[in-house]
Amino acid sequence: MSGTHEYDPSEAHAYPDSRVNDVLDFLRGDDEITTLLEAQNVNPVVRKGYNDHGTKHIEIVRNRALRLYDLLKAGDVEFNGAADEGLDEADEPVIIALAATLHDIGHIVHRDDHSYYSIPLAADLLDRILPEFYDTANAVRVKAEVLHAILCHHTEETPLTTEAGVVRVADGLDMERGRSRIPYERGGRGINTLSSQAIEQVTLQDGDDTPVLVEITMRNAAGVYQVDNLLKEKLHDSRLERHIKIVALNTSGDENQLVERIEL
C-alpha cells in the first residue's frame, strides 16, 4: 500500500483481509450507500461552505484508516474492539471500514451534531449489510463496535477501542488542499478553508521509534491550524498517542517563515 490514501486489496497486509475486501466490494456496489455519500455533502459544503464531507472524503478516510490499521498491526499494537466482543481478528478491519464509510452520513440531517444523527442512520444500514456476512449474533456484535467508532470520531466522545481510535485519527488525516477546493473557489476564506489549502501532502509510513510516522508538508504557516488544532485534537485520547508520530514541514522556502517544523 502506498503512503498516501490508496488501499489495494491484492497487496499483502499485516492482518487477514479477505473478509474486509468482500465488505468493501459490497459497499462500493450499493446504490443506497453511494447516494448517501453524495447527499451528505449538501449541508456542509453547499449550504454552510465547509470543507468536503462527501464521497471523496469518505474514500480518503476509509483508505487512510486501513493504512493506519495496517501499520499499527505490523507494529504489534493490540486492538480490543472485536476481541472484547468475542469476534475474530478478521472483524477488526471490517469494523474500521464500515465506521469510516458511515461516520458522516448524519450530515444529511444537519452539519451540527452530525455524529449523533449518524448513529440511527448507520444502524439501519448495518441491519441490512451485516446479515450478508454474519449470523445474527455476530452481526449484532459488529454493529455495536461500528456504532461506537462512528460516535467517537467526534472529539467530544472518548474512544474505548483501538478500532474507534483509528477511525477518529484517520478522519483528521484528510486535510490536503483538495478537500477545501469548492469553498475556496466560491470565495470562502475561513480558517478551515485557508489552512486546508496550505496542506500539500499527507503520508503514512513505518516510524523509527513508533509504529506510524505521519509526514505532512505544507506550503505556508496557515497549515499549522490543521495540524496543531484539528489533528492534535483528534489524536488526543484516541488510544493511539504513543503509537503515532506526526511531523509537519513548511516547504515554502521563505527565509522569513514563522514555522518550519512541528512535531506531535
> For position 43, which CATH number holds?
1.10.3210
| pLDDT for the residue numbered 184 | 41
Report residue 188: phi and psi, to 5°.
Answer: -65, 130
| 34 within domain boundaries | yes
Dist CA 242 CA 212 (whole Å):
10
Alpha helices in the chain (DSSP H): 18-28, 31-39, 55-74, 81-84, 91-102, 114-129, 136-151, 162-172, 181-185, 191-197, 224, 232-235
Instruction: Enter the C-alpha cell of residue 160.
Output: 474505548
Query: Would you tell me how many other CB atoms lie within 10 Å of the CB of residue 18?
Result: 9
* Alpha-carbon torsion, ordered 220, 223, 227, 231, to 10 deg: -160
Taking phi over 0 as left and psi of -120 to 50 as alpha, with beta for the rest, 168 belongs to alpha
| 11 within domain boundaries | no
Dist CA 196 CA 174 (whole Å):
9
For residue 88, the SS3 value is: coil
Domain containing 234: what range? 18-263
Per-residue H/E/C for 207-248: CCCCCEEEEEEECCHHHHHHHHHHHHHHHCCCCCHHHEEEEE
| pLDDT for the residue numbered 125 | 98
Instruction: Enter the C-alpha cell of residue 189.
Output: 476564506
Number of residues that make up the chain: 264
Residues 149, 95 contacting (CB under 8 angstroms): yes
Dist CA 18 CA 27 (whole Å):
14
Matching residue, cell 459490497: 26
pLDDT by position in tens, the chain (length 264): 444 457 899 999 999 999 999 999 999 999 999 999 999 999 998 898 888 889 999 999 999 999 999 999 999 999 999 999 999 999 999 999 999 999 999 999 999 999 999 999 999 999 999 999 999 999 999 999 999 999 999 888 999 999 999 999 999 998 876 554 555 445 554 555 656 577 888 999 999 999 999 998 888 766 777 787 778 899 999 999 999 999 988 876 555 444 555 676
| 245 within domain boundaries | yes
| 55 within domain boundaries | yes
| pLDDT for the residue numbered 193 | 61
Domain count, the chain: 1
| 1 within domain boundaries | no
| 58 within domain boundaries | yes
| 9 within domain boundaries | no
| 2 within domain boundaries | no
